Chain A
């Protein structure tokens, strides 16, 4: 799988907390020896809103103030520049080549690169008053971008294992497993592979998994994945999961279902399509 990764791409915008995503992306890019690319997405909805005559924004510092296109443009430019500088600093720290662009408009499938790109995104918006966060747009991006998409929520130094949920057992699962094993090797080296009952229940599941992971330096364990989401979440927590790797196809695992599974977990989530 990793042979096919040509870039690590980080979507950035003015609403999302991106520091963790940038750091995680830079480290993966360094480990895979591929360049890092940042895409600052200017929120077209916000720009559109600013065109309405009654548009306002409410801030903590100054209260209610007009929201004009010029204001929004200026602020987006400033944020884009800040994001560019941060990306560059982190990339340089990890000795990774990097590039940066600004995009506007609704997100298209190729806005965040091509099929050989690996996407790392921030999972939460910047809070208001240290607590309240509006919904992140990353879930809508997941629905559009049909390539590996990592939601970064935890600092790279945080300990924990990698847990993979497999459904199918075919090339998709193999690909998922390969990526999971790669990243598990970057972390602590502990990998738990949980398969759905009909997959994990087959006689050669463990051997099949082991065979696929030959050449990877990981500590492996296999088990059945709980069918009930609450039980599954509980098991994931028990495994001290640091990264949850999910295989999904374009036809299933819609963003809302994924969101329901993972939003009560604090771990990073990697969706492999």
Chain B
């Protein structure tokens, strides 16, 4: 498949294709209609680097307008689904657009999580101006460090000790006075106080000794009664005093606590005032600082004593230090979103959109065999990072699983970001976990995905319709005009610069533009699948560099195209070889009744190629049924079956109104063992059937592609270039005769961007392309007989194909009637 250089005739560029030869059905197409070239001479540069980058995406005005509208729209629900085939540059276009827009949007605030001292399970959020979050975090860190020195010093000072001693002494005296007084009164009555294991007991004494039971019994009764009475009286007083002890202890503790609070307050007051002054315009921050101050006052001991390990548990010093540090974690500030270095709104792309990567997560740390968490272990998700700006997500990945879609919808509906575990989301949680205060959400979402997914979501997901009101539809092709051709060249210039490729001359650019038309199989369109174009440019650059060239020309671009095809054409070549070896029987010469060369397209690994198939038809007496053998064995898809039913409808419509169709016909793709779908072979199948009906052979030098309707009109099909080239290559293998060619729908002429060798062969009249618009035109080409026009009675002239078909059908009908009569007679006799 060597390129043949510049021997083709170029069509003139111009609006509406002015100067192009006319298409005449049934007549071979002139070479100018087989390939629409891009004339390098008309490109206004020598090297493409002379051109500036294009001002925007090529041919995506509809989509760009949609995105710009959505971005400007501040109301809820105007998020965007950017739909389009892959490689159309959706991501780049939207990212660039958003970045430009984001520059003029105010930078969003910082967000932090801090401890909720009233309920640590529910961390509080704080909003600060951009860049101030880290400042608050560092200020709190410094505060704790300073307090760890200042508070112990405050409690070591003489004035604190003195006050503490006063409190302790007061309570001591209170105790001792009460008990001492009681003890004295008891002593006066001969009763002394003994310390028992559990408390105090009062014992009557005589001569310095506690009375034993024997001694007591030996006393006079009056004395015994007096002793008992006195003892019970003092006991009652002792009980009263003992009942007061817990109250005194509580008062002592409270007095010490109050002293500690006041001491702490004095020590930290100035530092806290400074912190509050730095955030006086942020009431939430001030409120938090008030809570911090109160907590420090209530828990001054944390700053005075090291952490105690669990009872009896020896711990190494690093662990002890860790435990001590853990007590101050509640004063830290967790900066979830830091926009200090952000200028304008953020534009974020999350390439793994799961529940956790979107809304953040609660992390845990292992501590003494258990998992623990606090607000410091909250981590942000993409929604946090994009808050106040824009978030781009891949739609397919979002819906792939991991609850990303559900979480996104929930957040958008609620206008807030709630960090929660999957357990909480699914209501499976049975353990206590964090419930951080949600953060208000203000973000514009752009989903990027295939069209099919958009349509599916639109029809099946009510939330989607409410939340994604804007569709940015990216086309896969643009109209080929002088203006778009120049924009394309500018696009190529931008790629060359960006990817640091060798300079491309205008012939290389022209060839690339032609290939862009070939990508979409349309001479009047250019592909918007820019990824393929970038790949082509890079590969051409590599080939040029490998050959030591300083500039990339059309030759290198062609080589890149050929090399890519070759990399994927093993199966194609094998099929062609087997055609040449007649393992696959394709006849490219001679005539056959009821047989025609059909054409299909196979796509393997991104490479498409045409594959000729032999389609045969057989007929017999029957009841008017056309059997699609492919369908019968479940190798035919629904579109193929539809095509067969349509041609059946044509047959019935043309011939069945004046006679019964007493035939059965069967159609098959010979030697086809894979699935067949689509109706692009329905015209070929009809020709085979009509040939069998008319008993007129079909010229095997032709291959046919086209879809037929019930009125016998030939309709456009896809992959016309690949199909023609597939038959061309088969003819080359079997041997050109000079009589071969392909019959195509006339409506496909505008799609022709054939290979150079095919165009050259057409120019040399070695291979021809024939457009047709009707079945009759095709019949005439294939049989070399006129198809025939019906007269007012519906009869066709003798010698025409249609006449022969009608005669055959009449014969079938007569035979069928005869058989029916004979059968009836036989039945009657039996």
Contact = CB atoms under 8 A, between A and B. Distances in A.
Given A45-B194, A134-B194, A58 B238 contact: yes
Contacts of A75: 196-198
A14 B202 CA distance: 16
B210 A49 contact: yes
Contact of A54 (B180, B210, B232, B242): B232
Contacts of A197: none
A128 B245 contact: yes
A132 B196 contact: no
Most buried by B among A46, A52, A57: A52
Contacts of A67: 196, 201
Contacts of A54: 228, 231-232
B239 interface: yes
A59 interface: yes
B199 A58 contact: yes
B210 A76 contact: no
B197 A79 contact: yes
Interface string A59-84: 11101100100001001101100000
B203 interface: yes
Most buried by B among A57, A61, A78: A57
Given A54-B232, A60-B199, A64-B239, A46 B171 contact: no
A257 interface: no
A60 to B, nearest CB: 6
Nearest to B235: A56
A43 interface: yes
A255 to B, nearest CB: 14
A170 interface: no
A51 B204 CA distance: 12
Contacts of A55: 201, 203
A49 B248 contact: no
A52 B239 contact: no
A67 B211 CA distance: 15
Most buried by A among B175, B195, B203: B195
Contact of B245 (A48, A78, A129): A129
Most buried by A among B171, B201, B211: B201
A125 interface: yes
A52 B227 CA distance: 11
Contacts of A58: 199-201, 235, 238-239, 242
Chain B binding surface SS class: helix
Interface string B794-821: 0000000000000000000000000000
Contacts of A76: 197
Contacts of B246: 60, 129
Contact of B179 (A45, A60, A128): A128
A130 B196 contact: no
A14 B199 contact: no
Contacts of B212: 48, 51
Contacts of B232: 54
Contacts of A132: 175-176, 178-180
A64 B235 contact: yes
A85 to B, nearest CB: 14
A15 interface: yes
Most buried by B among A45, A61, A125: A45
A131 interface: yes
A126 interface: yes
A43 B210 CA distance: 11
B155 interface: no
Nearest to B246: A60
Contact of A43 (B172, B194, B252): B194
Contacts of A46: 194, 196, 201, 203
B129 to A, nearest CB: 53
Interface string A124-168: 011011111110000000000000000000000000000000000
Nearest to B214: A51
A78 B197 CA distance: 9
B65 interface: no
A14 to B, nearest CB: 4
A256 B298 CA distance: 47
A64 B199 CA distance: 10
A57 B231 contact: no
Most buried by B among A14, A67, A75, A76: A67
B201 A14 contact: no
A126 B212 CA distance: 25
A134 B203 CA distance: 13
A49 B231 CA distance: 12
B213 interface: yes
Interface in A203-247: none
B243 interface: yes
Contacts of A51: 212-213
B193 interface: yes
B175 A131 contact: yes
Interface string B374-415: 000000000000000000000000000000000000000000
A46 B204 CA distance: 11
Nearest to B238: A58
B216 interface: yes
Nearest to B231: A54
B562 interface: no
A93 B239 CA distance: 41
A131 B239 contact: no
B203 A45 contact: yes
Nearest to B237: A58
Interface in B172-189: 172, 174-176, 178-180, 183
A193 to B, nearest CB: 33
B242 A57 contact: no
B249 interface: yes
A51 B212 CA distance: 7
B193 A134 contact: yes
Nearest to A77: B197
A72 B199 CA distance: 11
Nearest to B215: A48
A133 B179 CA distance: 9
Contacts of B231: 54
A75 B201 CA distance: 14
A63 B248 CA distance: 16
Contacts of B172: 131
A60 B216 contact: no
Nearest to A45: B210
Nearest to B252: A130
B194 A129 contact: no
A131 B203 contact: no
Contact of A72 (B196, B202, B248): B196
B242 A134 contact: no
Most buried by A among B174, B213, B228: B213
A129 B180 CA distance: 13
Given A49-B210, A58-B238, A132-B175, 6 more contacts: A45-B194, A45-B210, A52-B204, A57-B200, A57-B201, A75-B198
15 contacts: A49-B203, A52-B211, A54-B231, A56-B235, A59-B242, A60-B199, A60-B242, A60-B246, A61-B198, A64-B235, A64-B239, A75-B198, A130-B171, A130-B175, A134-B195
Pairs of residues from A and B, 7 with the lowest C-beta to C-beta distance, nearest first: A59-B199, A131-B175, A15-B195, A129-B245, A75-B197, A51-B213, A132-B179
